[in-house]
């Protein structure tokens, strides 16, 4: 009977130890350590550092310096230069004399003009700053000076500033504007000297013969009829050179 008792107790401890140790250690350690450490460290550092540094420095420095310096300098300098005054002014010497009368014109305009346009009142123009002009006919001449600089311009008109005197015809008279090619021809009515082309001549009312003469050219005669107070433009007289 003693032998039967020992054999029954030995096989019982073997199946009890194996199932308790192996399944408990493996599933508990692995899933707990892995997911807890990795997501907590990485997402917290990256989004906090990057957006805080970059957007603060960029927009604050650039727009503040540029618009303040540029518009303050440019609009202040330009309107000051445009307001410079341009005023036409001139003198003429002599202003009275007998034909042919040589007159010197001098520009005294304010504002440093760059271009000049003279109208001497006898159909002659000039673009020189200080021209000299010869009046060949008896009469009173209005002189106009226009000066220009960029988009600015100014005009001075002096009425009857030049007076070429002589033996004025008595009674009703008119005016004859005469030109010739070449210019500088003397114009006479009979023996009376009237002036040198180009000129605006005072001619007694009625029908007359005007003779044109210039050294080196053949004389030419033109018949005109002048009514009282009439201003007649005579076609340009063409002089033929002596062969």
pLDDT digits 0-9 by tens, 65-74:
555 555 555 6
Using the predicted structure, report yes or no on whether residue 48 has a pLDDT greater than 90. no
The conformation of residue 184, written as its DSSP 8-state character, comes to: -
Cα–Cα distance, 158 to 170 (Å, whole number):
27
Peptide bond into 182 cis (omega under 30): yes
Cβ–Cβ under 8 Å, residues 145 and 88 = yes
d(CA 81, CA 60): 36
pLDDT confidence of residue 68: 57
Query: Which of 16-20, 64-68, 77-81 bottoms out in mean pLDDT, i.e. has the lowest?
Result: 16-20
Question: What CA–CA distance (Å, rounded) separates 36 from 34?
Answer: 6
pTM: 0.42
Q: What average pLDDT is seen over the chain?
A: 76
């Amino acid at each position: 009977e003693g032998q039967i008792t020992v054999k029954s107790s030995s096989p019982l401890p073997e199946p009890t130890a194996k199932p308790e140790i192996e399944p408990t250690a493996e599933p508990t350690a692995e899933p707990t350590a892995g997911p807890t450490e990795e997501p907590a460290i990485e997402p917290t550092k990256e989004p906090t550092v990057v957006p805080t540094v970059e957007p603060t420095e960029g927009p604050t420095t650039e727009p503040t310096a540029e618009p303040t310096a540029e518009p303050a300098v440019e609009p202040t300098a330009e309107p000051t230069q445009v307001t410079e005054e341009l005023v036409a002014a001139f003198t003429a010497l002599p202003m009275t004399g007998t034909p042919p009368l040589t007159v010197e014109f001098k520009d005294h305009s304010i504002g440093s003009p760059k271009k000049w346009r003279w109208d001497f009142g006898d159909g002659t123009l000039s673009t020189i700053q200080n021209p000299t002009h010869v009046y060949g006919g008896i009469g009173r001449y209005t002189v106009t000076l226009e000066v220009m600089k960029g988009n600015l311009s100014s005009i001075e008109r002096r009425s009857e500033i030049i007076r070429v005197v002589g033996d004025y015809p008595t009674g009703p008279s008119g005016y004859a504007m005469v030109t010739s090619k070449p210019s500088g021809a003397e114009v006479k009515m009979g023996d009376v000297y009237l002036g040198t082309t180009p000129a605006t001549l005072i001619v007694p009312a009625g029908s007359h013969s005007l003779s044109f003469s210039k050294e080196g050219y053949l004389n030419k005669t033109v018949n005109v009829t002048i009514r009282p107070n009439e201003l007649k433009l005579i076609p340009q007289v063409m002089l033929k050179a002596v062969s």
